[in-house]
Structure 1
Amino acid sequence: MSFWAVSRGLTPPSKVVPMLNPNQRQFLEDEVRYREKLKLMARGDAMEEVYVRKQETVDDPLELDKHDSFYQTTKSLLVLFQIMGVMPIHRNPPEKNLPRTGYSWGSKQVMWAIFIYSCQTTIVVLVLRERVKKFVTSPDKRFDEAIYNVIFISLLFTNFLLPVASWRHGPQVAIFKNMWTNYQYKFFKTTGSPIVFPNLYPLTWSLCVFSWLLSIAINLSQYFLQPDFRLWYTFAYYPIIAMLNCFCSLWYINCNAFGTASRALSDALQTTIRGEKPAQKLTEYRHLWVDLSHMMQQLGRAYSNMYGMYCLVIFFTTIIATYGSISEIIDHGATYKEVGLFVIVFYCMGLLYIICNEAHYASRKVGLDFQTKLLNINLTAVDAATQKEVEMLLVAINKNPPIMNLDGYANINRELITTNISFMATYLVVLLQFKITEQRRISQQQP
């Protein structure tokens, strides 16, 4: 009879397990805990066995500033971005119900950014017109010469994408900065100790100075190594290359900070596990970890267009520069011109490696390393409530993987390096085939 019912689809449908987002899951967990607490109260048992998450409160802005060590240690890079007009966010006055970091199109930071951008765009347009005019009127129309001009012209076009790629995402960047501010104070209230970022202050200052020094060095090297690169051209490329360097520094600093915060949370958790009734704190630690994972995702969401353009520029410039250097070596041997192109190749690949490698380490420290420490906890030495909290924390890590994602465009990890290299090799082969075809055509035309 049961076989007859199953064959005709008359059996009752299986139970569908609902998929809950983090907020729904958090609400459901609180409801379950309240019910357990009420049952314990009805039986007259101790209520400390069940921990209920505290209600959210409005934090004092002065206390937020006091414990916002990440902002204090990385303030130099934020100020540099404001001076360059790249990201005109600002710090709000310490008032309640007002985020500490904000973005407004009518702020003085945005007005300054528009002024700087206008001056910079004027220089970029002059250099762009000069390079295009020189290329059009040049008697040398070889494919290789077109490639050389494409490299430097494409870098100039990144200036015109700045308002769309950076300014438009100012509110998302402000949200990310506020997440860091609130997280540090929440960490202090939960663990009783602040997050310490050792050596981050001198590191940020060093990266700010190094970003501009590297920009000057790269542009001057092109002036000395490229025969058609005039000195006044460098003034258009200085802020563009410095901007790329600063964004790489920003990514490095945030990834480093994520690892530091994860390590501090892990140390606090290990200390709590060795205490009495650790289940009372593990729920808060779970929420701290989920907030840290969400911050990593918000970093990619806030700078998605900027780093997306960043990766495209690196990908495109590396292909063209590699082809140009190899092609010139095949035709005329190694010259200073090829050295300049190789400088561009190593520079672009270095930026890509730093971004992907730091994202990989940040994801591993927040995810795998933290999970490994949880798995090494001796659950037989703790009570049942603590065992349940550890299991729920492991589930939270599994359901909220700390992935650096550019708002759905791409995942930033080491796999991106190998993928880009494979694509570069493919396009490089295609370009070399074009060159071989051109050489055959020229040889056939010659008597």
Structure 2
Amino acid sequence: MFNSYNRRKKHDTVFLNVKPTFNSQGNGLRKYSTGLLDKEDNPFYDVNSSSGSRASVGTITTLNENFRANIFYNNIAPIQWFLHMLGVLPITRREPGKAKFRINSIAFGYSFAFFILLSVFVTYVAKNRISIVTSLSGPFEEAVIAYLFLVNILPLILIPILWWEARKIAKLWNDWDDFEILYYQISGHSMPLNLRRKTTMIAVILPILSIVSVVITHITMADFQIIQVIPYCILDNLSAMLGAWWFIICESLSTTANILGERFQRALRHIGPAAMVADYRALWLRLSKLTRDTGNATCYTFTFINLYLFFIITLSVYGLMSQLSEGFGIKDIGLAITAIWNVFLLFYICDKAHYASFNVRTNFQKKLLMVELNWMNSDAQTEINMFIRATEMNPSNINCGGFFDVNRNLFKGVSGNVSLEWCNKNYCNLSCSCLPPWSLI
């Protein structure tokens, strides 16, 4: 009896599983999209009309701005191009929504050749460093410095890791293209994401700072050879620019969430159909999925980066504190620069992910809870309640494939462990005053 029972499958939500497409009439715009804008900045408002009425929905195609594609990709493009130069993310993208990772592509061929050449160079440097480590007979500080130089070649592993995750990252880019289309169809405007200047500044300034820090660190060390600085500059730029890439993606999520929240609040000023609220709920669900997919698409990459940064910070701070009682020497400058550089890199990775999750979910929930429902009809009230329920049931945290959440708690844990190392080295107990307040929480 039970075997003959076939459970009816529920219909999937249209906006989550079906790509938005343009149709021949109005480019897929919703009829109420013109009602989302106020009179002052409404491009469809006819200023010459004596009645002061809005333009008709039938003329929306000719009056509305043209759809601008590649908004997200253009915002991250400067950092993306720099990473391509380093042989990272060999993804081909000839048009919006068509990003692919192919082994037989020119991009992958360049990435593979770059990886082989860099591996040969790093192997030569590593052999030299291993010989230095095995012949050490000086103070503990020199041993820490020698081990740091060996650990600093580990970012080479990131290139093949990103080959493994390139397909997921390509899908993430395509999902952003779909989100831009859906945003345009619902709001009547292309997504106003303007981070290109910030991205360009990061892509110019950060590599310079990275090279300067590596050169200063090597100059203050013994057995300095200029030829050995080159691979360290490349690898340090690789980890730094991946952190910047993460930074700008999280910044895009935060900015988009704020834009969507403001647009939704303005939309509620007009008594629109309940379908309008349902569309914004579907749009938010897509944004929430983009937030989760950001962590899932790069889970192994940023799990490795976070572990690498944790190890570098612990080792450099431990070596720095071990010699603090004897005075601050010239070799300590390199350790201090290494510690500060990696602490800031880890901080921005954690802080921006935390901020993105907060804006996508918590901040958006606050705006929903402040909505006045008295003047709405029953259908619109039901949609608002369903919207609030959707934000509760759909997590928007950035999680590295289930290993850990990337947020401020991660940075707090690292700083707490470093503080414990500091205290243990100086024979302090756990309640000593050198521990920062957040490490005791």
Tell me which interval the TM-score lies in, with the shorter structure as reference length. 0.7 to 0.9
Change (3 A) 1:136 1:202: same
Q: Which residue of 1 aligns with 2:62?
A: none
Question: Do 2:76 and 2:249's aligned partners in 1 also have CA atoms closer than 8 Å?
Answer: no
Structure 1 runs not aligned, ≥5 long:
1-23, 31-51, 434-447
Shift of 1:401: 2.0
Distance in 1, Cα, partners of 2:341 & 2:135: 31
Q: TM-score, normalized by length of structure 2?
A: 0.80
Could you say if the C-alpha distance between residues 222 and 177 of structure 1 is closer, same or farther in structure 2, counting changes exceeding 3 Å?
Answer: same
Residues 255 and 359 in structure 1, CA contact (< 8 A), matched pair in contact too: yes
In structure 2, what is the equivalent of residue 72 of structure 1? Answer: 74
Residues 199-242 of structure 1 show CA distances to partners (whole Å, capped at 9, x for unaligned) of x1111111111221022111111122223333222101111111
Q: 1:281 maps to what in 2?
A: 276
Give 1:195's match in structure 2, choosing from 187, 191, 194.
191
Partner amino acid, structure 2, of 1:364: F
SS at match of 1:353: helix
**Paired position in structure 2 for 1:175:** 171
Matched residues, number: 378
Q: How has the CA–CA distance of structure 1 residues 78 and 56 changed in structure 2, closer, same or farther, with 3 Å as cutoff?
A: same
- Measure how far apart 1:93 and its partner are: 4.9
Q: Structure 1 residue 373: deviation in Å? A: 0.9
Q: 1:115 aligns with which of 107, 113, 116?
A: 113
Q: In proportion to residue count, which structure has more helix?
A: 1
2:386 is the counterpart of 1:392? yes
Distance 1:365 1:53, change over 3 A: closer
For 2:295, the equivalent position in structure 1 comes to: 300
Instruction: Please tell me whether the aligned partners of residues 120 and 236 of structure 1 are also in contact (alpha carbons under 8 angstroms).
Output: yes
Query: Matched residues in 1 for 2:311 and 2:383: separation?
Result: 48
Q: Find the partner of 1:165 among 144, 161, 175.
A: 161
Shift in alpha-carbon separation, 1:68–1:25, aligned structure 2, 3 A:
farther
1:258-302 deviation per Cα after TM superposition (whole angstroms, max 9, x unaligned): 122112211221222122333121111111101101101111111
The aligned residue for residue 134 of structure 2 is 136
CA distance in structure 1 between the partners assigned to 2:142 and 2:19 by the alignment? 63
Q: For 1:196, what is the secondary structure of its paired residue?
A: coil
What corresponds to 1:355 in structure 2? 349
Give the aligned partner of residue 252 of structure 2: 257
Match of residue 149 from structure 1 = 146
Alignment of 1:88 onto 2:83: no
1:320 to 286, 302, 315: 315
Q: Residues 138-189 of structure 1, C-alpha deviation per residue, up to 9 Å, x if partnerless?
A: 4x16544332211110111221x12442111000000111111110111101
Say which is worse superposed, 388-397 or 223-232, in terms of deviation: 223-232
Counterpart among 336, 340, 343 of residue 337 in structure 2? 343
Deviations 1:367-401 (A, max 9, x none): 11111111111111111111111110111100112
Q: Which amino acid aligns with 1:149?
A: A
Q: RMSD of aligned C-alpha atoms?
A: 2.4
Please tell me the residue identity of whatever aligns with 2:124. Answer: L
Return the offset for 1:326: 1.3
Tell me if structure 1 keeps the 8 A contact 2:321–2:425: no
**Contact 1:212–1:242 at 8 Å: present in 2 too?**
yes
User: Structure 1 residues 252, 233: CA separation in 2 closer, same or farther (over 3 Å shift)?
Assistant: same
For residue 248 of structure 1, report the CA deviation from its aligned partner: 1.4
How far apart, CA to CA, are the structure 2 residues paired with 1:156 and 1:406?
23
Whether the aligned pair in 2 keeps the contact of 1:68 and 1:185 (CA below 8 Å) is no
2:123 aligns with 125
User: Is the contact between residue 67 and residue 189 of structure 2 (CA under 8 Å) also seen in structure 1?
Assistant: no
2:361 to 357, 367, 376: 367
Indicate if the aligned counterparts of 1:405 and 1:411 stay in contact, CA closer than 8 A. Answer: yes
Question: Distance between the aligned counterparts of 1:156 and 1:414, measured in 2?
Answer: 27
Q: Closer, same or farther in 2 for the Cα pair 1:183/1:146, shift >3 Å?
A: same
What secondary structure sits across from 2:328 in the alignment? coil
Partner of 2:225: 230
* 2: CA distance, partners of 1:380 / 1:26: 31
Letter in 2 for 1:85: G
Q: Alignment partner for residue 184 of structure 1, among 177, 180, 187?
A: 180
Q: Write the mapping of 1:359-438 to structure 2, written as runs, cut at 5 A.
A: 359-428=353-422
Pair 1:57–1:220, CA change in 2 (3 A): closer
Q: 8 Å contact 1:255–1:362 — kept in the other structure?
A: yes
Q: Distance in 2 between matches of 1:69 and 1:115?
A: 31
SS in 2 for 1:195: coil
Give the C-alpha shift of residue 365 in structure 1: 1.2
CA distance in 2, matches of 1:164, 1:112: 13
Q: Match for 2:243 among 238, 243, 248?
A: 248
Look up the equivalent residue of 2:242 and give its one-letter code.
F
Larger CA deviation: 73-82 vs 366-375: 73-82
Pair 1:216–1:53, CA change in 2 (3 A): closer
